[in-house]
Structure 1
């Protein structure tokens, strides 16, 4: 089962050596908030040799920044 972590921890794990060859999956879903408005929720999943980690970002701008940071990594984007 995936372990839900904060975005800061996720980025630190991505930089570590054991996660250098790991697969990062990005999935964007449309969600509805309490007021009935839709927003995009982006999940970043890191699969290393032993563990699976998930970081969830609700802001589209923040998700774009994280994608730019992870540009040189092994990324698989699911739509």
Structure 2
């Protein structure tokens, strides 16, 4: 599973999301909206944060810790 955080350089939520994914044992990469205009266009992204999984946009906003755990750990 390829988990991609697509955020702005100034997104204040990033440290919390990273910590929650780390705590759940989920591997991820961080990519920045400013450096990936093709992803912004293809997913109609208008804000940050966003989480893509295997290239599909799954979360358009900051998910709660419970939402992340439910999605990834069942």
TM-score range, shorter chain: under 0.3
More helix as a share of residues:
2
Normalised by the length of structure 1, the TM-score is: 0.24
Computing the radius of gyration over CA atoms, which structure comes out larger, 1 or 2? 1
Normalised by the length of structure 2, the TM-score is: 0.25
More strand as a share of residues:
1
